[in-house]
Structure 1
Amino acid sequence: MTKMNRETVIAEALSLLDEVGLDAVSTRRLAQRLGVEQPSLYWHFRTKKDLLAAMAQAAMAPLAAEPLPTPDDDWRQWFLENTRSFRRTLLSRRDGARLHAGSTPGDDLDRVRRKMEFLVASGVPERAAQMAMLAASRFTVGSVLEEQADTGSGDAAGPPAGMPVIDHESAFEAGLALILNGLVHCAQMPDASVGG
């Protein structure tokens, strides 16, 4: 039997996720994997939702470990690389985007605040910075959801006749460039209105 603590449960749950996918992750399966009775998992997580939230936070650890921007960083390059890093982190886990979608940032709120402060200090209007970070985040999750669904479909036949094969990375980069171009425009014209 594995010595069970919260970290062990999360690590095993993420390994299970990578093996079987999000739909097949269950507390019953996880308990079997850990060699314990299912009710003992509730000592660490009251509900499956709590477990999934902890898994989502742990899956984002590589992104959370990256250095925060410094005043010397070019904000445009930083914005691109920050968003690309988020994509890589989501792609590093099977169903990573689905696991992350709808999760709330836990310990990451201070990092988000510091990233926003960096953009504002770099001359980006606060509202534009907020909307661009939100748009980039949602765009990235949506892009990875599509990419992981496409990869996981097992459809060896490919797309229907006449439909091009999607290069997910190129499509992501094109969309990211559009978001950045809009943000650059807002930074150059600080009086420009940014949605609601």
Structure 2
Amino acid sequence: MATTKIDRAQVADTALRLLNELGLEGLTLRAIAKELGVKAPALYWHFKNKQDLVDEMATVMYRRMTADGVPGADSGTWQEGVRAFNRALRAMLLSYRDGAKVYGGARFTDTGHAEAMEVYLGVMLEGGFAFRDAVRAAMTTYHYTMGFVEEEQGLGPRPGERGPGIDVAERADQLAGYPLAAAAGVEMFEGFGERFEEGLGVVVAGIEAVYLAGR
């Protein structure tokens, strides 16, 4: 092994590249060390364990998403701001294999996200929200997007499988005795982009109805 000096940024960048090849379960400190040309113990100077590294990976993912500014910050309305931010979040998560698994529940390793949060919540306050309601509305849309993408990515091919993760026609044949459940497959497992937009619209409309009614 080489004695190349490495830093946190190199390790996180390498981990994100390998993530697309190996997936989160297959991503090990040993594999990352091999890719960097160092021995695995060298990584422990920077990350005490895999979760520590995953936290840094999520931080880098968010940093990249907001590198050109907070998505939706310049939108004309809070509704468009919320849609723009969550579209960007979904696109970012989908750009990495197991992106939602990496990002969900991770703890940011710096305070860079606070600036974006300040802007995002400011857009909602300008839209007429009380502070508490703005935070809860933001988290509601975030949870919708995270859950949607985790399910979307989870329905892809599993290791050793070829083609779509869920074959809708095959599923319909298996559930032929349950016509409603069989017919639901098309809506459940196809058209993710369209369904995400429709669902996001429903969530935004619900937020407006609950938090801004009468204002």
1:158-180 Cα deviation digits (max 9, x unpaired): 13112224211122112111111
Structure 1: stretches of 5+ with no match in the other structure: 191-196
Corresponding residue pairs, total: 189
Report the equivalent of 1:111.
Answer: 116
| Aligned match of 1:67 | 69
Q: Does 1:131 align with 2:136?
A: yes
TM-score (norm 2): 0.80
Structure 2 residue aligned with 1:100: 103
Q: Are residue 29 (structure 1) and residue 31 (structure 2) matched?
A: yes
Deviations 1:23-76 (A, max 9, x none): 100011111111111101011111111111001111222322242425x73221
Question: Which residue of 1 is the match for residue 192 of structure 2?
Answer: 168
- Tell me if the contact between 1:132 and 1:179 (Cα under 8 Å) persists in the aligned partners: no
Secondary structure of the residue aligned to 1:170 is helix
Name the structure, 1 or 2, with higher relative contact order (CA <8 Å, separation 6+).
1
Amino acid at match of 1:7: A
Q: Is the 8 A contact 2:141 2:200 kept in 1?
A: yes
* 1:193 alignment counterpart: none
What is the identity percentage for the equivalent residue pairs of Structure 1 and Structure 2? 29
Q: Aligned to 2:155, what secondary structure does the other structure show? A: helix
**Partners of 1:12 and 1:189 in 2: how far apart?**
51
Shift of 1:123: 1.1
2: distance between equivalents of 1:62 and 1:42? 24
* Distance (whole Å) between structure 1 residues aligned to residue 42 and residue 204 of structure 2: 48
Aligned to 2:60: 58
Contact 2:81 2:123 in 1 (8 A): no
CA drift of 1:155 comes to 5.6
Question: Distance in 1 between the 2:148 and 2:41 partners?
Answer: 37
Gaps of 5+ in 2: 173-181
| Aligned-partner Cα distance in 1 for 2:140–2:59 | 20
- Larger gyration radius, structure 1 or structure 2: 2
Report the aligned-residue RMSD: 1.9
